[in-house]
Amino acid sequence: MEERPRALLLKFPGTNCDEETARALKVVGFSTEIVPISALNTETLDGVSLVMLSGGFSYGDYVMSGRLARLVTEQKIGAGLREFRDNGGYLLGICNGFQILTQLGLLPEGSLVENTSGRFQCQWVKMKKQADSPFLSLLPDEFEFPMAHAEGRLVTMSAEDARKYRESGAAAVTYDQDVNGSFEQIAGLQDETGRVFGMMPHPERFLYREDHYDPDWKNSAPDSAGSGEEKWGSGYYLFRSLYESVTSSN
């Protein structure tokens, strides 16, 4: 029997989306383990196909979000994640995980700073696929996810850099409108290998169709309520895309 690819979810003090993210990874086919950061060492990554950084508030994020998580990760395994990527490993960061990947320098340069509203914003957002990515292959060009963050505004050294990310495809996903002040409405970034991907909105919160706020989501006829045919939410297809990429590249 074929072995399931292994996913490792790193849990920092304050990580709080670990269970639902692990659930999503398991549902699409990964063998998934949640590892508290205190137990992390270089050997932990042996035989792992995906390192997952989920949402939460690592160490409270009282300093810049993701900052302390980066320092602790580097202290534990140095450039281990970089080597993991170079050896063909995949890295996915969602929300706080995106902030941490950005801090670690594994994604195109940029910072996730306070939303222009100055507030925490928990709302659903429409998003657009802007480039091919192993994380997005099964998703349509437009889709919705819930977001929930206070520091999700992606800024780059200059506005020009953000525009270049759009052109190069580094900005793999954007919001369809300005929700938090992100340059170029960028919602997520990928690196040059395509195997490192970070995004603010939460696909793991839209695993099943009933997670959508509108009970009639995906009902084609406006006057036919009823349960609809689709079992899965868009988040399933993001994780499933990743699973298929990982299994086909192994």
Partner 1 sequence: MSETESILDQIAEAPADHYRILKISDLDGDRLLELSQFMHLSLSKEDMLAVQEIYREWNREPTDVELEVIAQTWSEHCKHRIFGADIEHETNGKKEAVKSLFKTYIYDVSNRIFDRKPGFVLSAFHDNAGFIKLDEKLAICLKAETHNHPSAIEPYAGANTGIGGVVRDILGAGKGAKPIASLDVFCFGAPDTTMDNIKADDVLHPLGIMRGVVRGVRDYGNRMGIPTVSGAIQFDNSYIYNPLVYCGTAGSIPIKYIDKEVGAGMKVIAVGGRTGRDGLHGATFSSAALDTESHESDQQAVQIGNPIEEKKAADFVLAARDADLIEFITDCGAGGYSSAAGEMLEECGGTINLDNVTLKEPGMVSWEIFISESQERMVLAVKEKSMQELQKLADLYETELIVLGDADGSGILKVTHHGETVCQLDCSKLHTAPTRHLSAKWELKTEPVDAPAVDNGGEDLRSLLADFAVVSREPIIREYDHEVQGNTILKPLAGASGDAPQDASVMRVNGSDRLMSMSVSILPEWGKTDPYAMGTACVDECIRQMVASGADPDRLAILDNFCMGNPDAEEELGALVETVKGIAAAAEIYGAPFVSGKDSFYNYFETEEGPVSIPVTILISGMGIVEDVSHVTGSSLRRRDSLIAVIGSTESDLGGSVYARQKGLANATVPGTDMEAAMGLYRTYYEAVKEGLILSAHDVSEGGLAVTLAEAAFSGKAGLEIDLSSLPTGENVSVAAMLFGESPSRLVVEIAPENLERVAAVFEGQPFAPLGRAAGEHSNLKVTRGADVLINEPLDELKSLWKNGLAHYY
- Give the contacts of 199 (CB within 8 A, at least 6 positions apart): 93, 94, 95, 98, 173, 187, 188, 189
Beta-carbon count within 10 A of 231 CB = 11
Q: Which is nearer to partner 1, 35 or 106 (CB)?
A: 35
Where in 198-227 is the site for partner 1 (CB under 8 A)?
A: 202, 204-205, 207, 210-211, 213-216, 222-223, 225, 227
Structure tokens at 227: 């349960």
Q: Which stretch binds partner 1 (CB under 8 A): 15-23, 75-83, 162-170, 184-192?
A: 15-23
Q: How far is the CB of 92 from partner 1 (least distance, A)?
A: 16
95, 149, 151, 184: the active-site residue = 95
Phi, psi of 87, rounded to the nearest 5 degrees:
-85, 10
- Calculate ∠ Cα 11-15-137, nearest 5°: 80
Distance CA 114, CA 68 (A): 17
User: How would you class 89 by CB atoms within 10 Å of its CB: exposed for 0-12, middle for 13-18, buried for 19 or more?
Assistant: buried
95 belongs to the catalytic site: yes
Among 71, 138, 148, 155, binds partner 1 (CB under 8 A): 148
Nearer to partner 1, 127 or 196 (CB): 127
118 binds partner 1 (CB under 8 A): no
Residues taking part in catalysis: 95, 202, 204
Residues near partner 1 (CB under 8 A) are: 11, 13-14, 16-17, 19-20, 23-24, 36, 38-39, 55-57, 59-60, 119-124, 146, 148, 202, 204-205, 207, 210-211, 213-216, 222-223, 225, 227
